[in-house]
Amino acid sequence: MRLRNVKNKEEILNNCEYLIKSPEKYQKKWHELFNNDNPIYLEIGMGKGKFIIENALQHPNINYIGIEKFDSVVATAIKKLPKNIPNLRLIRMNALDIDKIFFKEINLIYLNFSDPWPKKRWYDRRLTSKIFLNKYESLFKDKKQIEMKTDNEGLFIYSLESLSEAGYKLNDISFDYHKTHTDIIMSEYEERFNKQGKNVYHLFAQKK
């Protein structure tokens, strides 16, 4: 993916009250940061932020955290933030460090249109690889819940297999999500793929 540089991105990042600069300090303390005991939903790879921002606005009784590793992408998301959105926080970080940031605090993980890493030698980089699924184990507060959408059939089949092998029960599996679901909050990628008539694959995975 080619990333456009965002003018004044350092200033945008430094001046955003919703961007957490040292997230490791809040491990086991995220509810204190939000000042409530509401569920915490985490989007790994939030992109330009449309999905998580709209969810936070529509569901004020859920706390949302979005992570993204690219400065310019995070800055673009920040520019979209409304002035008052207390149930949302953003983190600029690499997902490989996610188990250093959260511990038994997350209720649901969203994986929306993650990089498919199509070459076999790259499979360990996929967010549903065994490496990442093992990291997620310590994140969840109670039930382990993962919701995933992708336009990549290969990644989807791989994820069905890896989640099943990890002990997840798979529900709401769809090979053409927009045919069976309406009133969907879409990411930027999903909107683009939907307009192009591409299939969107979806699953909801859960285990105790």
Superfamily of domain 1-106: Vaccinia Virus protein VP39 (3.40.50.150)
> Which CATH number is 107-208's, of 3.40.50.1950, 2.40.50.70, 3.20.20.70, 3.40.50.150?
3.40.50.150
Give the pLDDT confidence score for residue 198 in this predicted structure: 85
Give the pLDDT confidence score for residue 2 in this predicted structure: 46
pLDDT tens profile 168-198: 999 999 999 988 888 888 888 888 888 888 8
Residues known to be catalytic:
115
The domains spanning 1-106 and 107-208 adopt the same CATH topology? yes
CA distance linking residue 153 with residue 137, whole number of Å:
25
Give the pLDDT confidence score for residue 139 in this predicted structure: 97
> Which tokens hold the place of 105?
């605090």
Task: Band the pLDDT of 4: cuts 50, 70, 90.
Answer: low
Task: Band the pLDDT of 87: cuts 50, 70, 90.
Answer: very high
Give the pLDDT confidence score for residue 1 in this predicted structure: 46
CA distance linking residue 153 with residue 174, whole number of Å:
11
Sketch the domain layout of the chain as residue ranges: 1-106, 107-208
Percent of the chain with pLDDT over 70: 98
Give the pLDDT confidence score for residue 196 in this predicted structure: 85
pLDDT at 122 over 80: yes
Give the pLDDT confidence score for residue 6 in this predicted structure: 72
pLDDT tens profile 97-120: 999 999 999 999 999 999 999 999
Q: What is the mean pLDDT of residues 61-89?
A: 93
Tell me the average pLDDT of the chain.
Answer: 93
Q: What is the mean pLDDT of residues 155-165?
A: 97
The amino acid present at 45, given as its one-letter code, is G
